[in-house]
Amino acid sequence: MSLTCIIVDDEPLAVSLLETFVGRTSGLELLASFTDSVEAVEAIREKKPDIVFLDIQMPDLNGMDLAHIVPEETSIVFTTAFKEYAFESYEVSAVDFLLKPIRYNKFLMAVEKVRKRRAAAVPPTLPDGGPAVADSLLSSAEGGQGGHGRGPLSSSCFIRVDGELRQLPFASILYVSGMKDYVMFYLEGERRPLITHLTMKSVEDMLPADRFLRVHRSYIIALDHIRKVDRNDCIYIGEEVIHVTEAYAEAFHRFLSARTFGK
């Protein structure tokens, strides 16, 4: 399936890189490139590209605002150096979120996501308007009936990503973070989290209680991935520092006490 695209980024070097990527990608045609987001609006409306590669931080009209006026049939792939925009990108039904510096393999994966959705005539959002990324946390790959009832052999769960089930080993999960009705799974060795439309309570019930512990209203941590805990009850895990709040402190201190030598 052939796809058309438009690039919008106020950084000429970023535009040049994306143009190079488009030129290397079979079945992808570049209709236009813009460093001025305001100028890009009319072209996007007229040409109706299959994909818009869209930077977020731009003067006059930022990418998030522009995304709200992109035609519904056009897929949005955000390109930005700021990972804190990840949540907002899914709120406007972006197909993907590419962090700069962008690698070609990630670019190609984003294009293939668009291609698969169009070939299957699948809309880019879930029925309730949530992100078309991880949308369901299912049962363990090896049996079990929930976080407090899993058998000792349970080692993974499945996450539905773009209509496919991805097996997620518990050992790969660093921590889980929640915001409103969305949950992010941060995995060892991966820069971007998997985002799912779930509640923290449902994730807490699903994950095995002997390996994961909720330490904050918005955080569940993998106990085996803790690097250190400082005197202020701040947990260092992955690249994150997570503070244990009072509501969860007692359970966390019991865990520490059971595993600490030289008390």
Strand spans (E) along the chain: 3-8, 28-34, 51-55, 75-80, 96-99, 134-140, 156-161, 164-169, 173-179, 182-187, 194-196, 212-216, 219-222, 228-229, 234-237, 240-243
pLDDT at 160 over 80: no
Q: What is the pLDDT of residue 89?
A: 53
Q: Is the pLDDT of residue 152 over 80?
A: no
- Per-residue pLDDT of 208-246, as tens digits, reads 999 999 999 999 999 999 999 999 999 999 888 999 999
**pLDDT tens for each residue of 94-104:** 788 888 899 99
Average the pLDDT over 17-22 and give the result.
96
Higher pLDDT, 137 or 51: 51
Please tell me which residue, 28 or 156, carries the higher pLDDT value: 28
So what's the pLDDT on residue 155?
86
First and final C-alpha spacing in the chain: 64
What average pLDDT does range 174-178 have in this prediction? 91
Q: What percentage of residues in the chain have a pLDDT greater than 90?
A: 46
Are the CB atoms for 208 and 154 separated by under 8 Å?
yes
Asked if residues 97 and 110 have their Cβ atoms less than 8 Å apart, the reply is no
Residue 147 has pLDDT above 80, yes or no: no
Per-residue pLDDT averaged across 179-193, rounded?
Answer: 80
31: nearest Cα among 10, 2, 6, 50? 6
pLDDT reported for residue 84: 62
Alpha-carbon distance of 158 to 131, in angstroms, equals 17
pLDDT at 122: 45
Kindly tell me if the per-residue pLDDT of 123 is higher than 80. Answer: no
pLDDT of res. 167: 85
CA torsion angle 202 207 211 217 (round to 10):
-20
Task: Name the 3-class secondary structure at 98.
Answer: strand
Cis peptide bond upstream of 101, omega within 30? yes
Listed residue (180, 189, 247) closest to 213, CA to CA: 247
d(CA 52, CA 32) in angstroms, rounded, equals: 10
What band does 13 get if pLDDT is binned at 50, 70 and 90? very high
Average predicted confidence (pLDDT) for the chain: 82
From 189, 129, 193, 190, select the one nearest 161 (Cα to Cα): 193
Segment 70-84, tens digit of pLDDT = 888 899 999 988 776
Say if residue 137's pLDDT is above 60: no
Residue with tokens 């294009």: 111
